[in-house]
Amino acid sequence: MPENRGAGSADAGAVPISAAADALGVSARSLRYREGLGLLPVTKEQPTGRGHRHRRFSPEDLRTIAAGLELERGFDVAPAALAFALRVLAEPETLAAVRSYGERLGRLAPPPARAMDFEKQKALRLLRARGGP
């Protein structure tokens, strides 16, 4: 992976996508696919001119992408699966839906009932049995 060459310019050590792909051992197309899934760091550069400036990858970007690739390999998951896992972690509604599905499948135990919830339900049952609310 390219090394940061110092504090010269903001682009010091930054490389285009083809060099980034070579350094990471993947294709540029693979990097573009992962970018579409949200698996690449957000670029800090603003397009110049008509917006035709090509993205450049800093050494930190390359380390971050390499960590993602290692997760994919280590857990034998596709990029889309890693992207969905990040979505589950970032979005409470998605997490709740996935948790509910896991519980229905029997792969996840339901969260333990709190003692006060149990006591409340018990009291409501007793009241109903006695003709209360």
pTM value is 0.69
Tens digits of residue pLDDT in 1-38: 444 444 445 567 889 999 999 999 999 999 999 999 99
Confidence class for position 84, pLDDT limits 50, 70, 90: very high
Task: Flag the least confident range among 25-29, 70-74, 80-84, 125-129.
Answer: 125-129
SS3 content of the chain, % helix, strand, coil (to 5): 55, 5, 40
Dump pLDDT digits (tens) for 33-72.
999 999 999 876 655 556 656 789 999 999 999 999 999 9
| Phi–psi pair at 74, nearest 5 degrees | -65, -35
The pLDDT of residue 128:
86
Strand partners, 16: 56
Q: What local confidence, expressed as pLDDT, does residue 131 receive?
A: 77
Taking a C-beta distance cutoff of 8 angstroms, is the pair 27, 21 a contact? yes
